[in-house]
Homo-oligomer: A and B are copies of this chain.
Amino acid sequence: MRAVGDTLNTASVEFWFEFASTYSYLSAARIEDIATTAGVPVLWEPFLLGPIFAEQGWDDSPFNIYAAKGRYMWRDMERLCTKYCIPFTRPSRFPRNGLLAARIACLAKATSELWLPEFTRVVFQANLVFQANFAEDREIGDPAEIRSILDSLGQSGAQLVEQAQAPENKLRLREQSRRAKELGIFGAPSFVVGAELFWGNDRLEDALAWAGSRTGEARR
Protein backbone atom coordinates (compact mmCIF):
# COMPACT_ATOMS: atom_id res chain seq x y z
CA MET A 1 0.00 0.00 0.00
CA ARG A 2 1.33 3.44 -0.90
CA ALA A 3 1.40 5.92 1.92
CA VAL A 4 0.11 9.44 1.45
CA GLY A 5 3.07 11.61 0.48
CA ASP A 6 4.95 8.87 -1.39
CA THR A 7 5.26 11.10 -4.40
CA LEU A 8 7.43 13.39 -2.29
CA ASN A 9 10.06 10.67 -2.49
CA THR A 10 9.98 10.49 -6.26
CA ALA A 11 13.00 12.08 -7.91
CA SER A 12 11.86 14.94 -10.11
CA VAL A 13 13.29 16.27 -13.36
CA GLU A 14 14.16 19.94 -13.71
CA PHE A 15 13.44 20.99 -17.29
CA TRP A 16 15.65 23.97 -18.15
CA PHE A 17 14.43 25.73 -21.27
CA GLU A 18 15.13 28.91 -23.25
CA PHE A 19 12.48 30.41 -25.54
CA ALA A 20 14.96 31.11 -28.35
CA SER A 21 16.09 27.47 -28.42
CA THR A 22 14.47 25.38 -31.15
CA TYR A 23 15.30 22.06 -29.48
CA SER A 24 13.68 23.33 -26.24
CA TYR A 25 10.43 23.54 -28.21
CA LEU A 26 10.62 19.79 -28.92
CA SER A 27 11.02 18.96 -25.24
CA ALA A 28 8.32 21.42 -24.14
CA ALA A 29 5.94 19.66 -26.52
CA ARG A 30 6.95 16.15 -25.41
CA ILE A 31 7.86 16.20 -21.73
CA GLU A 32 4.46 16.11 -19.99
CA ASP A 33 3.16 12.98 -21.70
CA ILE A 34 6.41 11.04 -21.24
CA ALA A 35 6.91 12.21 -17.64
CA THR A 36 3.33 11.34 -16.71
CA THR A 37 3.79 7.82 -18.13
CA ALA A 38 7.08 7.51 -16.20
CA GLY A 39 5.46 8.87 -13.02
CA VAL A 40 8.15 11.56 -12.71
CA PRO A 41 7.28 15.12 -11.58
CA VAL A 42 8.58 17.92 -13.82
CA LEU A 43 9.82 21.32 -12.61
CA TRP A 44 9.73 23.93 -15.39
CA GLU A 45 12.83 26.12 -15.18
CA PRO A 46 13.06 29.11 -17.54
CA PHE A 47 16.47 30.72 -18.07
CA LEU A 48 18.49 32.74 -20.57
CA LEU A 49 21.34 31.26 -22.59
CA GLY A 50 22.61 34.68 -23.72
CA PRO A 51 24.84 35.34 -20.69
CA ILE A 52 26.25 31.78 -20.85
CA PHE A 53 26.94 32.08 -24.59
CA ALA A 54 28.51 35.52 -24.02
CA GLU A 55 31.03 33.95 -21.63
CA GLN A 56 31.98 31.53 -24.42
CA GLY A 57 32.59 34.51 -26.71
CA TRP A 58 29.36 34.16 -28.71
CA ASP A 59 27.15 37.20 -29.31
CA ASP A 60 24.63 35.26 -31.42
CA SER A 61 23.19 31.75 -31.62
CA PRO A 62 25.89 29.17 -32.51
CA PHE A 63 23.48 28.11 -35.29
CA ASN A 64 24.00 31.55 -36.85
CA ILE A 65 27.73 31.75 -36.10
CA TYR A 66 28.49 28.28 -37.55
CA ALA A 67 26.70 28.11 -40.91
CA ALA A 68 26.98 24.35 -41.52
CA LYS A 69 25.65 23.65 -38.03
CA GLY A 70 22.79 26.09 -38.63
CA ARG A 71 21.77 24.55 -41.97
CA TYR A 72 21.84 21.16 -40.31
CA MET A 73 19.72 22.24 -37.34
CA TRP A 74 16.84 23.49 -39.51
CA ARG A 75 16.71 20.22 -41.48
CA ASP A 76 17.08 18.21 -38.27
CA MET A 77 14.16 20.13 -36.72
CA GLU A 78 11.99 19.38 -39.78
CA ARG A 79 12.76 15.65 -39.56
CA LEU A 80 12.30 15.47 -35.78
CA CYS A 81 9.00 17.38 -35.84
CA THR A 82 7.73 14.98 -38.51
CA LYS A 83 8.89 12.03 -36.38
CA TYR A 84 7.23 13.38 -33.22
CA CYS A 85 4.13 14.73 -35.07
CA ILE A 86 4.81 18.26 -33.80
CA PRO A 87 3.91 21.26 -36.01
CA PHE A 88 6.86 23.35 -37.18
CA THR A 89 7.59 26.23 -39.55
CA ARG A 90 11.02 27.79 -39.78
CA PRO A 91 10.67 31.33 -38.38
CA SER A 92 11.52 34.31 -40.56
CA ARG A 93 13.80 35.62 -37.82
CA PHE A 94 16.10 33.61 -35.55
CA PRO A 95 16.71 33.83 -32.71
CA ARG A 96 13.85 35.96 -31.43
CA ASN A 97 14.15 37.76 -28.10
CA GLY A 98 12.75 35.52 -25.36
CA LEU A 99 13.50 37.90 -22.47
CA LEU A 100 9.94 39.01 -21.68
CA ALA A 101 8.52 35.50 -22.12
CA ALA A 102 11.19 34.17 -19.74
CA ARG A 103 10.30 36.85 -17.19
CA ILE A 104 6.62 35.90 -17.42
CA ALA A 105 7.61 32.26 -16.93
CA CYS A 106 9.65 33.19 -13.84
CA LEU A 107 6.69 35.10 -12.44
CA ALA A 108 4.45 32.08 -13.00
CA LYS A 109 7.00 29.80 -11.34
CA ALA A 110 7.39 32.10 -8.32
CA THR A 111 3.63 32.29 -7.80
CA SER A 112 3.09 28.55 -8.47
CA GLU A 113 0.86 29.31 -11.42
CA LEU A 114 -0.40 26.16 -13.08
CA TRP A 115 -0.48 27.80 -16.52
CA LEU A 116 3.35 27.85 -16.82
CA PRO A 117 3.61 24.71 -19.03
CA GLU A 118 0.78 25.81 -21.31
CA PHE A 119 2.12 29.37 -21.58
CA THR A 120 5.54 27.95 -22.49
CA ARG A 121 4.14 25.72 -25.22
CA VAL A 122 2.03 28.50 -26.71
CA VAL A 123 5.00 30.90 -26.84
CA PHE A 124 7.15 28.28 -28.59
CA GLN A 125 4.35 27.63 -31.06
CA ALA A 126 3.87 31.36 -31.69
CA ASN A 127 7.55 31.51 -32.65
CA LEU A 128 7.90 28.24 -34.53
CA VAL A 129 4.53 27.40 -36.07
CA PHE A 130 2.96 29.42 -38.85
CA GLN A 131 -0.48 30.55 -37.70
CA ALA A 132 -3.08 30.71 -40.45
CA ASN A 133 -4.65 33.78 -38.85
CA PHE A 134 -1.43 35.78 -38.77
CA ALA A 135 0.21 37.40 -41.76
CA GLU A 136 3.60 36.28 -40.46
CA ASP A 137 5.12 34.13 -37.78
CA ARG A 138 4.84 35.97 -34.48
CA GLU A 139 7.28 38.27 -32.76
CA ILE A 140 7.52 36.79 -29.28
CA GLY A 141 9.76 39.67 -28.17
CA ASP A 142 6.83 42.08 -28.59
CA PRO A 143 4.93 42.79 -25.29
CA ALA A 144 1.64 43.04 -27.24
CA GLU A 145 2.15 39.49 -28.48
CA ILE A 146 2.87 38.16 -24.98
CA ARG A 147 -0.15 40.05 -23.57
CA SER A 148 -2.35 38.54 -26.25
CA ILE A 149 -1.05 35.02 -25.48
CA LEU A 150 -1.72 35.50 -21.76
CA ASP A 151 -5.21 36.86 -22.43
CA SER A 152 -5.93 33.83 -24.65
CA LEU A 153 -5.05 31.63 -21.66
CA GLY A 154 -7.60 33.45 -19.51
CA GLN A 155 -4.98 35.51 -17.64
CA SER A 156 -4.72 39.27 -17.19
CA GLY A 157 -2.10 39.90 -19.86
CA ALA A 158 -1.52 43.61 -19.27
CA GLN A 159 -1.13 43.16 -15.52
CA LEU A 160 1.24 40.20 -15.78
CA VAL A 161 3.45 41.94 -18.35
CA GLU A 162 3.76 44.87 -15.94
CA GLN A 163 4.54 42.64 -12.94
CA ALA A 164 7.04 40.65 -14.99
CA GLN A 165 9.08 43.80 -15.56
CA ALA A 166 9.18 44.84 -11.91
CA PRO A 167 12.68 44.83 -10.36
CA GLU A 168 12.03 41.85 -8.06
CA ASN A 169 10.92 39.71 -10.99
CA LYS A 170 13.82 40.77 -13.21
CA LEU A 171 16.00 39.56 -10.36
CA ARG A 172 14.23 36.16 -10.40
CA LEU A 173 15.29 35.55 -14.00
CA ARG A 174 18.86 36.68 -13.30
CA GLU A 175 18.91 34.27 -10.37
CA GLN A 176 17.61 31.43 -12.59
CA SER A 177 20.32 32.06 -15.16
CA ARG A 178 22.96 32.20 -12.43
CA ARG A 179 21.72 28.88 -11.05
CA ALA A 180 21.77 27.36 -14.54
CA LYS A 181 25.44 28.24 -14.86
CA GLU A 182 26.15 26.86 -11.39
CA LEU A 183 24.53 23.56 -12.43
CA GLY A 184 26.98 23.35 -15.35
CA ILE A 185 24.33 24.11 -17.98
CA PHE A 186 25.81 25.29 -21.30
CA GLY A 187 22.91 24.73 -23.71
CA ALA A 188 19.17 24.15 -23.90
CA PRO A 189 17.16 22.20 -23.23
CA SER A 190 18.90 20.66 -20.24
CA PHE A 191 17.52 18.28 -17.65
CA VAL A 192 18.75 18.00 -14.08
CA VAL A 193 18.07 15.00 -11.84
CA GLY A 194 19.85 15.34 -8.51
CA ALA A 195 23.52 15.78 -9.38
CA GLU A 196 23.11 14.52 -12.97
CA LEU A 197 22.94 16.88 -15.95
CA PHE A 198 21.48 15.77 -19.29
CA TRP A 199 21.82 18.04 -22.33
CA GLY A 200 19.52 18.15 -25.31
CA ASN A 201 16.09 16.95 -26.34
CA ASP A 202 17.81 13.65 -27.24
CA ARG A 203 18.44 13.02 -23.52
CA LEU A 204 14.85 13.61 -22.33
CA GLU A 205 14.06 9.90 -22.12
CA ASP A 206 17.39 9.12 -20.38
CA ALA A 207 16.78 11.87 -17.79
CA LEU A 208 13.30 10.55 -17.02
CA ALA A 209 14.63 6.99 -16.77
CA TRP A 210 17.34 8.22 -14.38
CA ALA A 211 14.72 9.94 -12.21
CA GLY A 212 12.46 6.89 -12.35
CA SER A 213 15.24 4.60 -11.15
CA ARG A 214 15.78 6.91 -8.17
CA THR A 215 12.16 6.90 -7.01
CA GLY A 216 12.04 6.24 -3.30
CA GLU A 217 15.41 7.90 -2.62
CA ALA A 218 15.38 11.21 -0.86
CA ARG A 219 14.96 14.21 -3.13
CA ARG A 220 17.93 16.50 -3.31
Asked whether A130 is an interface residue with its Cβ less than 8 Å from the other chain, the reply is: no
Instruction: Give the residue name and chain of the B residue nearest to A185 (CB).
Output: B68
Instruction: Give the residue name and chain of the B residue nearest to A52 (CB).
Output: B68
Report Cα–Cα, A206/B69, bound state, in Å.
18
In the complex the two chains form, is A72's CB within 8 Å of B199's CB?
yes
Asked whether A71 is an interface residue with its Cβ less than 8 Å from the other chain, the reply is: yes
In the complex the two chains form, is B56's CB within 8 Å of A66's CB?
yes
Asked whether A2 is an interface residue with its Cβ less than 8 Å from the other chain, the reply is: no
Q: Chain copies in the assembly?
A: 2
Which listed residue, B68, B79, B184, B185, touches A206 by the CB 8 Å rule?
Answer: B79
Report Cα–Cα, A199/B76, bound state, in Å.
9
The answer to whether A75 and B197 touch (CB under 8 A), given A56-B66, A68-B186, is yes
Asked whether A93 is an interface residue with its Cβ less than 8 Å from the other chain, the reply is: no
Instruction: Give the residue name and chain of the B residue nearest to A186 (CB).
Output: B68
Q: 18 new A-B pairs (CB below 8 Å) besides A56-B66, A75-B196, A76-B198? A: A66-B186, A68-B184, A68-B185, A68-B186, A69-B186, A69-B187, A71-B184, A72-B184, A72-B186, A72-B197, A72-B199, A75-B197, A76-B199, A76-B203, A79-B196, A79-B206, A200-B202, A202-B202
